[in-house]
Amino acid sequence: MKLLITGAGGQLGREWVDFCQDHGVSYNSFSSTELDITDDDKVDKIIADVAPDVLINCAAYTKVDDAEENKQTALKINAESVKELADVCKRHNVKLVHYSTDYVFSGSISDKENNPEGYKEEDSTDPVNAYGYSKLKGEEAIKNSGCEFLILRVSWLCGQYGHNFIKTMLKLGSERDELNVVNDQFGSPTFADQVVEQTFELLQQNKTGLYHLSSEGITTWHHFSKEIFKQKGINVNVNPVSSAEFPTKAKRPFFSKLSTQKISNVDGVPILDWKAGLQRLLKQL
């Protein structure tokens, strides 16, 4: 299996490069500066030259708050360019792996009550911010393209590379004795190394369609931060606060838990509890 990885300089892309090197998987990788996925002609040429079996698209516009003021840029990268990727993959008979987000859902408190185990793949989407809308349009474009695909939704992504909540908390915990952290947003972290391992297993089994990748269990940002400090032995007083105390340009869903029921039915795909996943990542860091 020969892979072509886009967005290889990002949190998930760098994890993919590590995985391929560690497991002897044939790959070509391009950071977003080396390959701008909005450059349709260059994308087509590289896919034709590399001739991969699978395109792993890790390139995306991920600045959630900035997307509110840059809606067209978010749509161009997360939807229009993804449509072109899917069309190119269709022409060259390449399977497309694309990562999406929990933000395609409304994340309402009533949804939390109706879906205690988390959103399932077939649940209705209804994004509440521009970023989520752009990612949903990308999903729809892939589904309508006729290409062979895997769309994998992740939530609260954390890994050893790039910026994420765990790294932010570790930095703040080393600087302060007391922190205020939101306690009315519910979800579960998804760990980048597990995402890559699970995706590769799905590819090995020639799976297609839409899957949710996340950890078992549910938490809040407040509880998550307390567990980070507990596992690291850092003494910080963490106060629970409401989202209203941290106003943001983009509305955040109150409920982001993705159900792991479908992926758990795939043989050979272990799913860790979020606390175990955190422990594994903290060792890597």
Write out pLDDT tens, residues 95-108: 999 999 999 999 99
Residue 60 placed within a domain: yes
Residue 238 placed within a domain: no
- What pLDDT does 270 receive? 87
- What pLDDT does 277 receive? 97
Residue 172 placed within a domain: no
The Cα–Cα gap between 219 and 227 comes to 10
Please give the tally of structural domains in the chain: 1
Residue 248 placed within a domain: no
**52-72 pLDDT, tens digit each:** 999 999 999 999 999 999 999
Residue 228 placed within a domain: no
Please give the residue range of the domain that contains residue 136. 2-163+190-217+257-272
Residue 179 placed within a domain: no
Residue 174 placed within a domain: no
- What region does 107 belong to: left with phi over 0, alpha with psi -120 to 50, or beta? left
Q: Tokens in use for 98?
A: 């694309």
Q: What is the CATH number of the domain that holds 127?
A: 3.40.50.720
Residue 49 placed within a domain: yes
Residue numbers annotated as active site: 131
What is the reported pTM?
A: 0.96
Sites in the chain below the pLDDT cut of 70: none
CB 55 within 8 Å of CB 124: no
